[in-house]
Structure 1
Amino acid sequence: MGKKIGKKLFTKMSSVLLASAMLVSVVGCSSGTTNETAEPTISSDFNQEGLPIVNKPVTLKVLTVRWGNMGDTFTQNQWLKDLEKDSNVKIEWQVMSSNDWGEQKSIMLASGTLPDIILGDQVFSDSDIVNNLSYFRPLDEYIDSYMPNLKAAMEETPDMKKISTFPDGKIYSMPTRLPSRPKSRNQPVINKAWLDKLGLKAPTTTEELYQVLKAFREKDPNGNGKKDEIPYTETGLNVDFLNPFGITDINASSMIVQDGKPVFYPTTDAYKEALIYTNKLYSEGLIDQELFTQDNTMTSAKWQNADISIVGFSNQWTPDAVFGKWSDQYEAIAPIAGPDGKRYQPGDPGGMNLARNELLITTSCTVPEVAARWADQFYSNEASIQNFWGAIGTVIKKNDDGTYTLMDPPAGTSADAWYWDQSLRDFGPKYVSPSFEEKIKLNPQAGDGLKLQIDQLGSADVTTPYPKVMYNAEEFQELPTLTTDIDGYVATMRAQWVTKGGIEEGWDAYIKKLNEMGLEQLLTIRNNAFERYMNVK
């Protein structure tokens, strides 16, 4: 969803740094083992309100992880520089590449020596945090005492508190609400040039989709005299292809919510019906015969075939997401209606904009109140848009009428790449209120603005997803074995039934095998986590 890689390789932390002592500041951030948390002492230099946060400079170490070779150019964001000056909180950035982080993360967690602040949900996963809770400070009291912006955001958008509450009822990580996000995720994208060539309309039902894909296969829509058209291709069977049957799974959990209750959809009649339909298309050559054997490189080569477009249909974030120089041939269409006559669009009725684990204060930091007040500055509307796109005056123009528009990126640079270069983008704490979003004016022809335009096609059909629930330590111990076995078996049988058929004859044995693998226990864990999430007040 726009998380793209920048231009130059940048890695500022090594394993040596991970084991180094924390910087001792004027107020006193220091290291030491995190199992014996130092009690914070509020200095007379600390101001509970207003700026500066401290009268004498304090240095905090902040660790974040960036995609691939993005680097640390975001640290030159003018808002961040102004905050450092105005708050008297100096930041020593520790920027890691995602290419190296897996190994370095293990070293850090094993050593127990952490920086003062962890920023961005790519640094530590839920299980990393839950299994190492002694390294992180509970934030509830800090939110109440020092974070009025976040406290107000949670009151206005209660799901921010739900998503951030751990199984023990405490908040250890801060959430985000990204600005100007759509309700829908991927939508059907079709080769409009092919439709026009064949005099066809965009399909609206699964039967119409079948007929269109059949025409794509048989009637040479790319006009090269060869039968090289691939009506539909992906790397594996994307669950989005099953959307018309009521199967929408944005969190890759194999769970959907029906009538307010969580359901494991690989055992439902709708799933069976979806695979019977998909097998029909596959057996007639309307789906790529290499669907389950190709990798992403092979798929991309087909989407962006050098000589002529050869792919007819897919599910994508925007039409220009993957088709390269052929992008102009494609357009997004409304969700395809299923056999029940209804349309199901993957996404979230509340918006695809919430995430947790965007900022944690570690027990290595002896001035958590300073860290909390620093973090709270990110939760104003103007701070949030500047940390999502770039600074006002650099990337964003603040207009006289109180609205905000995005400037054009430098020549030769995509808008998305520019935003990642200039800001924290998806990572880090943010909150843009729904009312403030009306002041943000985006270009409807490109980037985030284009997605919002496309969103109108399916936003009314967005289903309620199984939420981003939180698991406790015991559940995290059981889940890997259960999901590895069960998800692996489901994927194997899905590929077999799509390519060879036989789902009716094999269904009962399939259900029996899943139960033997511990499906009941998996569903107990999923249901308990769901209940905890829904009961957060």
Structure 2
Amino acid sequence: MQITSKPWKLVLSGAMVLTLLAGCGTSNTAENTGEGTGGEVTVSKEGFPIVDKPVTLSLMAPDVGIQNWEDMVVLQQMKEKTGITLEYRNAPKDSFETKKNLVFASGDYPDILYAAGLTTAEQMNYGEQGILIPLEELIEEYAPNFKALLEENPDVRKSITAPDGHIYSLPVVEMSQHWYRNPLWYNGDFLKALKIDKLPETTEELYTYLKRVKEEDPNGNGVADEIPLSSVTVTSANLRDIRTWLLGAFGIYEEEIYVDDADKVHYTPMEEGYKEYLTFMNRLWSEELLDHESFSQTAEQKKAKAQNNRVGLFSDWHAYMTKGGEPSTEDPMFAPVKSDSVDKPAIAKNRGITTGAFAITESNPEPEASMRWVDYLYSYEGAMFFNKGPEGMLWEYTDKDARVKKYLPVPDGKEMEDYRATLTPNYGIPAPTLSMDDINKGLKTDFDLWVEQETQTKLLDKGARIPFPSLFLTVEEQTEINSLNSDLSTYVKQMEAKFITGAEPFANWDAYVDTVKKMGGERVAEINQAAYDRWKSN
């Protein structure tokens, strides 16, 4: 039997009828009355094509600017596979947030939001307004891959389900990515010059290393131009690229909200461990062990210093991306250190779930077909296709049954990642997909395997854990949090810089904490505690 459904606005009011009809028979297709698609469209529940008549949908996403999406072979082949043509309403990645806000305000919505980075607040807000449609029934009927993922990973369902019980977006699920943020890396040339064969394990040992970098001329140029530790200003928070790792030395997993072993939620900027972190950073600043341009320089400026062999410890995806040159196993990953105030460092790892990667709006005439389209990305075949492009261009199988592959020569001498970015949209944006080890089976270089080993021994073997899950707040809670954070976050960031640079003496710490409390720091913790308790019991 075939299942006839209405456009989505009618489906919302007739969900029970659809559910009953869905159980009548074993058909793997469904008919939809597609607005603007030329009449009824049959949506297949498995295989390709997805639709029996051409369907055109609009999609909005952030664009990294390397290749026009119309020219990407992955998207061209998806059109051929599925029968669905996408019209792209993209914006440059750097200005995407602005465009997204304007689109939501305009009422002229794209049919699909792809890699839009929808916050939990945006999902709740636009979901309750009906702009984003609920996805849970579509997942049940038209997303076998994603449905299986939810069944195997209950925490994923918990993290994407809003307090009203609806799922308004699909996530990025990264089973094989363990880093919470870019690691810190030691300059291996400096370690050799200083004859250091054991990395620091405590804050005092780290201080000693940084002091030696400053005073013992490890770059050997006869000039005291070394910078022991360098950071950059990040728009959302100063020194964020190193804060994550050094906060852990004082028992804190996250810079704003973290939960302890007793499931108690803490607001970090009020904690004693945060004060200890600031005190340590002030010590590094006052002795010029922390780059004094850290609060003003760009990532490019930091890299220029490192490429002149001046920096001893820094953050990046890989060390060579800051130092320049080829991937090297000579620059070891930072091993989290501990202070005297804790028994072991707190080590945060990737949550594994990034919500807000794919959503369907009320304007979409074919939500069932849209869900089938994206569900392919949560299969091994689809994840491989969107991650690496089609077989025969960047890679090929050497043993298809075992999923073993090898890379092919990159044409025209291009960098591999630059070439990959011309093939697929899943480059540099939070695109919906499932990341799994099998995608890179056979493709890992010696350097990749070394990085995995560093990650295992430096982080995972030492008890790395998810610092705080992705949570939804109710609309009321989110409204209150937004109101509190509008002033509180700015104040905390300003005071962090002042304490580190010495502009604010630590004698004023109690006054600072009193101010944070008055501005709502304790209330922020209470709201997140309530959300965390809901998540735990979901």
Same fold (TM over 0.5): yes
Give the aligned residue type for 1:443: K
Gaps of 5+ in 1: 1-26
Deviations 1:425-456 (A, max 9, x none): 2543322566x46x72332345x666434312
Deviations 1:162-209 (A, max 9, x none): 221112110011122246423554333112211211222332221111
Distance change >3 Å, CA 499–CA 105, structure 1 → 2: closer
- The alignment partner of 1:355 has SS state of strand
Distance change >3 Å, CA 402–CA 530, structure 1 → 2: same
2:49 pairs with 1:89: no
The answer to whether the 8 Å contact 1:443/1:450 transfers is no
Which of these residues, 276, 286, 305, is aligned with residue 302 of structure 1? 305
| Structure 1, 232-241 or 96-105: larger mean CA deviation | 96-105
The answer to whether the 8 Å contact 2:353/2:470 transfers is no
The answer to whether the 8 Å contact 2:270/2:516 transfers is no
The answer to whether the 8 Å contact 2:160/2:170 transfers is yes
2:122 pairs with 1:128: yes
Map of 2:109 onto structure 1: 114
Map of 1:5 onto structure 2: none
Give the aligned residue type for 1:218: E
Distance change >3 Å, CA 195–CA 379, structure 1 → 2: closer
Deviations 1:81-101 (A, max 9, x none): 444333323333333322443
2:311 pairs with 1:314: no
Distance change >3 Å, CA 490–CA 391, structure 1 → 2: same
Structure-to-structure mapping, 1:9-28, within 5 angstroms? none
Distance change >3 Å, CA 267–CA 253, structure 1 → 2: closer
Q: Normalized per residue, which structure has more helix?
A: 2
Report the CA distance between 1:148 and its aligned residue: 1.2
C-alpha separation between the residues in 1 aligned to 2:76 and 2:276?
56
The answer to whether the 8 Å contact 2:120/2:471 transfers is no
Map of 2:501 onto structure 1: 499
| Structure 1, 327-336 or 476-485: larger mean CA deviation | 327-336
Distance change >3 Å, CA 160–CA 424, structure 1 → 2: farther
Give the aligned residue type for 1:274: Y
2:168 pairs with 1:172: yes
C-alpha separation between the residues in 1 aligned to 2:58 and 2:196?
59
Report the CA distance between 1:224 and its aligned residue: 1.1
Structure 2-normalised TM-score?
0.82
Map of 1:246 onto structure 2: 251
C-alpha separation between the residues in 2 aligned to 1:38 and 1:71?
41
2:459 pairs with 1:458: yes
Give the aligned residue type for 2:380: N
Structure-to-structure mapping, 1:32-51, within 5 angstroms? 41=33, 43=40, 45-51=42-48
Deviations 1:65-89 (A, max 9, x none): 223x2333585334x4444333323
The answer to whether the 8 Å contact 2:69/2:88 transfers is no
Give the aligned residue type for 1:155: E
Give the aligned residue type for 2:103: M
C-alpha separation between the residues in 2 aligned to 1:128 and 1:153?
24
Distance change >3 Å, CA 363–CA 449, structure 1 → 2: farther
Which of these residues, 158, 162, 176, is aligned with residue 162 of structure 1? 158
The answer to whether the 8 Å contact 1:205/1:336 transfers is yes
Which of these residues, 424, 429, 433, is aligned with residue 430 of structure 1? 433
Distance change >3 Å, CA 217–CA 81, structure 1 → 2: same
The answer to whether the 8 Å contact 2:214/2:289 transfers is yes
Give the aligned residue type for 1:420: A
Report the CA distance between 1:256 and its aligned residue: 4.6
Report the CA distance between 1:501 and its aligned residue: 8.1
Distance change >3 Å, CA 338–CA 424, structure 1 → 2: farther
The answer to whether the 8 Å contact 1:179/1:385 transfers is no
The answer to whether the 8 Å contact 1:164/1:175 transfers is yes
Report the CA distance between 1:411 and its aligned residue: 5.4
* Aligned residue pair count: 494
C-alpha separation between the residues in 2 aligned to 1:526 and 1:282?
33
Report the CA distance between 1:297 and its aligned residue: 4.6
Structure 1-normalised TM-score?
0.82
Map of 1:13 onto structure 2: none
Which of these residues, 208, 211, 217, is aligned with residue 208 of structure 2? 211
Structure-to-structure mapping, 1:230-241, within 5 angstroms? 230-235=227-232, 236-237=238-239, 238-239=242-243, 240-241=245-246
| Structure 1, 136-145 or 411-420: larger mean CA deviation | 411-420
Distance change >3 Å, CA 95–CA 491, structure 1 → 2: closer
C-alpha separation between the residues in 1 aligned to 2:390 and 2:98?
33
Which of these residues, 203, 217, 220, is aligned with residue 217 of structure 2? 220
The answer to whether the 8 Å contact 2:257/2:265 transfers is no
Deviations 1:374-401 (A, max 9, x none): 2222221111122122222222322225
- The alignment partner of 1:313 has SS state of strand
The answer to whether the 8 Å contact 1:335/1:458 transfers is yes
| Structure 1, 418-427 or 385-394: larger mean CA deviation | 418-427
Report the CA distance between 1:412 and its aligned residue: 4.4
The answer to whether the 8 Å contact 1:187/1:345 transfers is no
Give the aligned residue type for 1:263: H
Give the aligned residue type for 2:295: F
Which of these residues, 513, 516, 519, is aligned with residue 518 of structure 2? 516
C-alpha separation between the residues in 2 aligned to 1:71 and 1:214?
46
Q: CA RMSD in A?
A: 3.1
C-alpha separation between the residues in 1 aligned to 2:263 and 2:445?
35
C-alpha separation between the residues in 2 aligned to 1:185 and 1:417?
22
Give the aligned residue type for 2:122: D
- The alignment partner of 1:399 has SS state of strand
C-alpha separation between the residues in 2 aligned to 1:242 and 1:275?
9
Map of 2:51 onto structure 1: 54
Distance change >3 Å, CA 282–CA 104, structure 1 → 2: closer
- The alignment partner of 2:321 has SS state of coil
C-alpha separation between the residues in 1 aligned to 2:43 and 2:522?
53
Map of 1:290 onto structure 2: 293
| Structure 1, 474-483 or 365-374: larger mean CA deviation | 474-483
2:298 pairs with 1:272: no
C-alpha separation between the residues in 2 aligned to 1:289 and 1:141?
54
The answer to whether the 8 Å contact 2:397/2:403 transfers is yes
2:374 pairs with 1:378: no
C-alpha separation between the residues in 1 aligned to 2:411 and 2:7?
42
Distance change >3 Å, CA 416–CA 532, structure 1 → 2: farther
- The alignment partner of 2:313 has SS state of strand
Gaps of 5+ in 2: 15-31, 35-39, 233-237
Distance change >3 Å, CA 324–CA 44, structure 1 → 2: closer
Which of these residues, 262, 287, 293, is aligned with residue 265 of structure 2? 262
- The alignment partner of 1:163 has SS state of helix
- The alignment partner of 2:42 has SS state of coil
